[in-house]
């Protein structure tokens, strides 16, 4: 089971809702994956438009928990304002906090992120910060009041998987009791399984599912991969070795003198 703030979840896969071919495909993918949480980007320019109401109705009909995000925000003020709007629209104190600092890689602005997290946590939000794998930044986010961290695996939409294994392993080891969710960069289910095998608590996937040739099938594949990775972690994988270790004992076997 996955504990995120005061909520307990069965699924360790979170799914984004952007860039699907159609609303019907999105709905089918969410159901195929069996996820309990979906992320939704609330854009200020669309919050009050009638065109957006059908989408919000579709999301509510999925009967899943909504994690609004501040995607596209580049400043503290913009992110905080968007979070307030999301709380009103969706009636939730959860917010996936994004403050983008660089447009080519969509790397988080960790200084603005920490400041926005401090403001929102003080206002009663339960913040899920999209961050890097930096240990010092993680410390500051936790000190600001965050109880969950969402480090990137690779740049958003890149499909490159877990780019910095050393830093991600260090992050996991340094914060053993903090829920860590790999957010961004996963391209195939095996990368999600790898994240869970490393001890991460969950993964958030959007582009890899939404832009697949068959999003519904890919969503199901990610769900199975996450389950496999979590089960493998719980089973206790063997440590890598530099030399071979025979799987069949040689003691008692016939040999030629």
Q: Are 69 and 40 in contact (CB under 8 A)?
A: yes
**Residues classed as catalytic:** 96
Count of Cβ atoms closer than 10 Å to residue 52 Cβ: 15
| Cα–Cα dist 151/227, whole Å | 20
A 10 A CB-CB count for 65 gives: 16
3-state secondary structure 8-19: EECCCEEEECCC
CB 14 within 8 A of CB 21: no
CA 194 to chain centre: 14
């Amino acid at each position: 089971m996955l504990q995120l703030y005061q909520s307990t979840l069965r699924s360790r896969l979170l799914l984004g809702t952007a860039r699907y071919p159609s609303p019907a495909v999105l709905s089918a993918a969410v159901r195929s994956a069996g996820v309990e949480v979906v992320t939704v980007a609330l854009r200020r320019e669309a919050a009050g438009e009638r065109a957006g109401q059908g989408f919000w109705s579709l999301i509510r009909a999925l009967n899943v928990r909504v994690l609004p995000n501040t995607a596209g925000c580049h400043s503290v003020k913009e992110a905080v304002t968007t979070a307030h709007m999301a709380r009103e629209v969706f009636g939730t104190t959860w917010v996936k906090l994004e403050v983008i600092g660089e447009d080519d890689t969509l790397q988080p602005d960790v200084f603005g992120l920490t400041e926005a997290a401090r403001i929102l946590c003080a206002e009663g939000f339960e913040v899920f910060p999209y961050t890097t794998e930096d240990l010092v930044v993680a410390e500051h986010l936790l000190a600001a009041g965050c109880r969950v961290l969402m480090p990137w695996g690779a740049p958003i939409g890149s499909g490159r998987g877990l780019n910095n294994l050393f830093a991600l392993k260090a992050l996991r080891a340094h914060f053993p009791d903090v829920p860590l969710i790999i957010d961004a960069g996963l391209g195939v289910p095996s990368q999600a399984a790898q994240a869970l095998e490393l001890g991460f608590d969950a993964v958030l996937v959007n582009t890899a599912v939404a832009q697949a040739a068959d999003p519904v099938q890919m969503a199901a594949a990610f769900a199975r991969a996450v389950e496999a990775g979590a089960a493998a972690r719980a089973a206790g994988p063997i440590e890598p070795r530099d030399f071979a270790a025979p799987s069949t004992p040689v003691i008692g076997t016939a040999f030629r003198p």
